[in-house]
Amino acid sequence: MNGAKKIVLAEDNSMLSKLLKFKLEKEGYSLFIADNGKKTIELIEEHNPELILTDIMMPFVSGLEVISHVRNKLNLLTPIVVFSAAGQEQIVLKAFDLGATDFMSKPLSPNELVLRVKRLLS
Amino acid sequence: MGDPIIQNIIELFHYLFFIFSGSAIASYLVLAFISVIETVEYKRKNSYVNYKEIMSSDSAPSISIIAPAYNESLNIVENVRSLLSNHYVNYDVIIINDGSKDDSLEKLIEVYNLVQVDYLINEQIPTQPLRNGIYKSTNPAFEKLIIVDKENGGKADALNMGLNISNSEYVACIDVDCLLLEDSLQIMIKPFLETTDRKVIAAGGVIRIANSCVVKGGKLHDVNFPKKLIEQGQILEYIRAFLLGRMAWSRLNGLLVISGAFGLFDKKIAIKVGGYDRNTVGEDMELVVRMRAYMEEQNKIYKVAYIPDPLCWTEAPDNYKIFISQRNRWTRGTIETLRKHRKIGFNPKYRVLGLVSYPYWFFFERMAPVIEFIGILYFGILIVFNKIRWDYAFALIILAYLFTVFFSLIALITEELTYHQYKKKGTGIRLLQIAFLEPFVNHPFILYAAIRGNFDYYFNKKKKWGEMTRKGMTKA
Amino acid sequence: MNTYRFLIDYFNDSPTIIQATWIVIGLFSILILGLILYLKYLRGHLRKKESITVAYEQEYEAALITYLYAGNDEEEISSEQQAIIDLLKNGAKEPFKRKILIAVLLKLKNEISGEVAESIQNLYYQTELVDYALSRLSHKKWYVIAKGIRELKQFQIKEAYNPVIIHLNHPRPEVRKEMQLYMVNLFYFEGLTFLDLLETPLSEWDQIQLLEILQKLENQNISNITSWLQSSNDSVIIFALKLAKIYNQLEAKNEIIQLLHHINKKVRLEAIDVLSYLNVLEAKEILKTDLQKRSQEEQIAVFKMIENLYENDDESFIMKYIYDDLFEIKIIALKILKRINREKFCSLKRESSDDSFLRIVNFIENN
């Protein structure tokens, strides 16, 4: 398992994170799950993952702040994919401004997510 | 005391006193009963509404949050951030810096990258002039923010400036240190948008007490029951007033007050009636009464809505000095408003407003403390003349006390069945305890403050605004 | 025993009013005692309910995840999946557990699309939850119906079309709203046909929600809106006007122009707004001729239109309004004048000595 690529997933819906963890681990990735922005930042600092998946609307520290922390405080170029609900175009634009790599709108398709993750990590 | 005339007067006095107490008790019970019906109905209507479904819509009407600030430098930056984090899409935040003498403006300029902008104000309501002018942020993340720096003119004057500045259809007038839940605007706007058979002119929210609650990043994180009896007493009092009192008035469409801490208004009507009155300390109540009177005079079918959900949390006084000055001000506000609009009282032209709401407020809010005070004086005189049947007095006092406790318990049970905010184990016993203690720990001070308010109103006209020094919330 | 005797005698000797007082005191004491016990029970009950809910939630969440990944390619439903279905079906018999189960399914379904969403819907059928929801549609109580429709919408059960559409003109607005949301969520623009038969008002809140769903759709081919523009239900007309704006229904131009003379002011206002947005110049000419007869709000709306659609020969018309009493109109008139005849605009500044007027002119000049 030493070679498994690490992914931090920030998502406050426990069902969705369980499902995605299951799906991505099946593909051979190693997953770290956070349910709020603060924990996300801690996990990123601890594990230095190859990819970050984050929801935009999260309690306490929003996805936007996570992106800004990674890019500006930690100065990392780790790819970041953000999830957002439909109709939040403005926030998505802000996320790209702050340095997000890609975005997927909710409801999201797990299969599509796996494809994108593979592409980003290949 | 042998004179038959005096004897008769005393007799009459006794009867009036009994009638007053009896009708007060009856009115409380009726209101409680109506509020239970209304609460059940409200819960049924709204339990499965998904407010997220409307949150992102840009076809939703525009709302301006107007928050006056006077010397709030301590928390202003935090407070503004909290106001900016609402989930509603089509809104802006107008902070009126009402001639503050501290560094509020400098702090805001620095943190929010503000620059002065040219702004054409449609001065529909006269106000004090601008001081340094109007500011907006250069950072697109804060594009919703407008800061207005004006000469001091008091809370009503500042709110009027906000009404002039706002370009929105609706205005939410709030206290700047109020903590609004993120979906508060969606929930408050709902009655305006869903009512089709009448015009909704205003909506009032519930005020909850934030003392001892944990606030993180401008959001309510954990609800705690405070330790001090004075704070606990106010919590009980607020639950009683909001869940049992106003809920019933909303059902009767007789609501006279929307708390100044959080209310949403149809801007056009608020401006049409002339905005807030600068000459009263009860500007929040006065505006609602005036708007209602206007609608009645125009013969329009209208409604003042009420939202019982706990959306707005604010710091309540935690010491008796500030508590008394706050209640003193409330008393004067009520007297001023009722006096100013006395033509409404008992006037059938104003229907529910004139025949039910006004008389109720006059007798049971305005006069209650005065009558209680006279009763106590009379009791004192009887003691001096040794005319008391102690056993009778004892029975009546116990009865009054038990009724108060009973009513508080009903309020607590309603709270548990609806919003259940104080979930923690061990709080139940403290809620019970305060239900029994409140008549001793808070009521005497409320009575004293009300009497002082009456005195100040009639004999101390110079009395200025009670300054409300507020304690900061627990910042984690 | 003596004290007891004394109290009884005392009571009997007291005047009626005091006797009544003591009786009421007794009554209140019992009531208060009851309320205290109830409060205690209630708080305990709520706390227990919360912890049981969490336990079931976890159980069902785990079961759902297992179910989603226990499938194999050979069978439609594997034996492991069948076991989970049976477990959930059993749980669904109890209303309390059913509620939790539905919440768990929705928690995931709302966030996900594609295959997984389909398997969740499939599970909704398999566990027979769908039958409970369908049976709610004919319930006596309105809020039961409303919740039923809402659930069927969330699980996208299109088969319920007939029992749902019956509630088209239900007396309770909440039921109607859920019916409308069901139709539009599941059948998109075709679902809007309920507007043909709607007799009750469509509130602004309903309209916003419907528009929001429609705007999220990928397919943006709207059906013909002209019949709704001629509806006898004013709120349907207003909604159709909003659709016309969002979907650029220039084809319906003539019908919308007709609405400028509709009896309802709200309809007229909305029509002015839409025609302005669609750049219909002929509407401007019509409105210019009868502007004085219109309400203040309409006049302001017309000026907003002119601000958007002004032409050089509007100048003489505009000049009549630069000193208008209405602030909004005065400003727009001056703004337009500045654009079509800068010289004249500047001359105003020299001619006027009114402070508040100059303030406005200066502001417009600089912005």
Q: Which residue of C has its CA nearest to A84?
A: C111
User: Does C229 score more than 50 pLDDT?
Assistant: yes
Q: Are C345 and C334 in contact (CB under 8 A)?
A: yes
Q: What is the dihedral of CA A20, A26, A28, A29, to 10 degrees?
A: 10
- Can you give the CATH number for the domain in which A56 is found? 3.40.50.2300
User: Does C355 score more than 90 pLDDT?
Assistant: no
pLDDT of residue C212: 86
pTM metric for this prediction: 0.90
Query: Looking at the partner chain, which of A14, A19, A86 has a beta carbon nearest the beta carbon of C116?
Result: A19
How confident is the model over A83-115, as pLDDT tens digits? 987 666 777 888 888 889 998 988 888 889 999
Q: Is C70 on the interface with A (CB under 8 A)?
A: no
Separation CA B137–CA B109 (nearest Å): 8
CA neighbours within 13 Å on the CB side: how many for A57? 18
Please give the average per-residue pLDDT across A1-30, as a whole number: 86
Average pLDDT, chain C: 90
Query: Looking at the partner chain, which of A16, A111, A112 has a beta carbon nearest the beta carbon of C111?
Result: A16
Strand ranges (DSSP E) for chain A? Answer: 6-10, 30-34, 51-55, 80-85, 102-106
- Which chain A residues contact residue B216 at CB under 8 A? 60
A79 in a structural domain: yes
Query: Looking at the partner chain, which of B53, B54, B413 has a beta carbon nearest the beta carbon of C35?
Result: B413
pLDDT band at C257 (very low <50, low <70, confident <90, very high): very high
Domain count, chain A: 1
Strand B170-174 versus strand B262-266 pairing type? antiparallel
Which tokens belong to C15? Answer: 């005047």
User: Does C45 score more than 50 pLDDT?
Assistant: yes
Strand B170-174 versus strand B214-216 pairing type? unpaired
Please give the average per-residue pLDDT across C79-101, as a whole number: 89
Please give the average per-residue pLDDT across B159-175, as a whole number: 96
A19 in a structural domain: yes
User: Which sign, positive or negative, has the C-alpha torsion C248, C251, C253, C255?
Assistant: negative
User: Does B464 score more than 70 pLDDT?
Assistant: no
Going by the DSSP 8-state scheme, the letter that residue B129 receives in this structure is: P
pLDDT of residue C74: 59
Phi, psi values for residue B253, rounded to 5°? 50, 45
How confident is the model over A41-85, as pLDDT tens digits? 899 999 999 999 998 877 666 778 888 889 888 888 899 999 987
Share of chain B above pLDDT 90, in %: 73
Q: Are B95 and B75 in contact (CB under 8 A)?
A: no
Using a CB–CB cut-off of 8 Å, the residues of B that contact A are 52, 56-57, 140-141, 216-217, 219, 221
Q: Is A30 on the interface with B (CB under 8 A)?
A: no
Sheet holding B262-266, edge to edge: B114-117, B130-137, B145-150, B91-98, B63-69, B170-174, B262-266, B199-209, B302-314, B179-180
Please give the average per-residue pLDDT across B235-264, as a whole number: 93
Stated length of chain B: 476
pLDDT of residue C155: 93
Separation CA C68–CA C116 (nearest Å): 7
How confident is the model over C5-19, as pLDDT tens digits? 988 888 888 888 888
DSSP state letters, B60-112: SPPEEEEEEESS-TTTHHHHHHHHHT-S-SSEEEEEEEES-SSSHHHHHHHHT
User: Which sign, positive or negative, has the C-alpha torsion B92, B98, B102, B103?
Assistant: positive
Which tokens belong to B429? Answer: 């016993």
CA neighbours within 13 Å on the CB side: how many for A72? 9
Please give the average per-residue pLDDT across C179-184, as a whole number: 95
How confident is the model over C143-174, as pLDDT tens digits? 999 999 999 999 999 999 999 999 999 999 99
**Surface of B (37-56) touching C: CB under 8 A:** 44-45, 48, 53-54, 56
Separation CA A21–CA A15 (nearest Å): 10
* CA neighbor of B266 nearest in space, from B125, B170, B361: B170
User: Does B387 score more than 90 pLDDT?
Assistant: no
* CA neighbor of B312 nearest in space, from B421, B157, B158: B421
* CA neighbor of B296 nearest in space, from B243, B216, B226, B355: B355
Q: Do A111 and C114 touch (CB under 8 A)?
A: yes
Please give the average per-residue pLDDT across B177-187, as a whole number: 90
pLDDT band at B11 (very low <50, low <70, confident <90, very high): confident
Phi, psi values for residue B264, rounded to 5°? -115, 135
Share of chain C above pLDDT 90, in %: 63
Separation CA A77–CA A67 (nearest Å): 10
pLDDT of residue B467: 40
Indicate the residue type of B242. Answer: F
pLDDT of residue A60: 60
**Nearest-CA distance A88 → chain B (Å):** 7
Phi, psi values for residue B222, rounded to 5°? -150, 130
Q: Is B431 on the interface with C (CB under 8 A)?
A: yes
A104 in a structural domain: yes
Phi, psi values for residue B49, rounded to 5°? -80, 130
H-assigned helices in C198-310? 204-216, 226-229, 234-246, 253-258, 265-277, 281-289, 296-309
Q: How many beta carbons lie within 10 A of that of residue C20, not counting itself?
A: 13
Domain of A87 in residue numbering reads as: 6-108
Query: Looking at the partner chain, which of C65, C110, C212 has a beta carbon nearest the beta carbon of A19?
Result: C65
Q: Are C123 and A120 in contact (CB under 8 A)?
A: no
User: Does B1 score more than 60 pLDDT?
Assistant: no
Q: Do B57 and A87 touch (CB under 8 A)?
A: yes
pLDDT band at B469 (very low <50, low <70, confident <90, very high): very low
- Which chain B residues contact residue A88 at CB under 8 A? 56
**Nearest-CA distance C280 → chain A (Å):** 29
Query: Looking at the partner chain, which of B57, B141, B217 has a beta carbon nearest the beta carbon of A60?
Result: B217
A115 in a structural domain: no
pLDDT of residue B466: 40
In the complex, which subunits touch B with 3 or more CB pairs below 8 angstroms?
Answer: A, C
A67 in a structural domain: yes
User: Does B2 score more than 60 pLDDT?
Assistant: no
Q: Do B425 and C47 touch (CB under 8 A)?
A: yes
DSSP state letters, C118-160: HHHHHHHHHTTHHHHHHHHTT-SSHHHHHHHHHHHHHTT-GGG
Question: For testing the chain A interface, which of C57, C115, C116 should be mutated: the one with the most A CBs within 10 Å?
Answer: C116
Going by the DSSP 8-state scheme, the letter that residue A58 receives in this structure is: -
Q: Is C2 on the interface with A (CB under 8 A)?
A: no
- Which chain A residues contact residue B221 at CB under 8 A? 60
User: Does C75 score more than 70 pLDDT?
Assistant: no
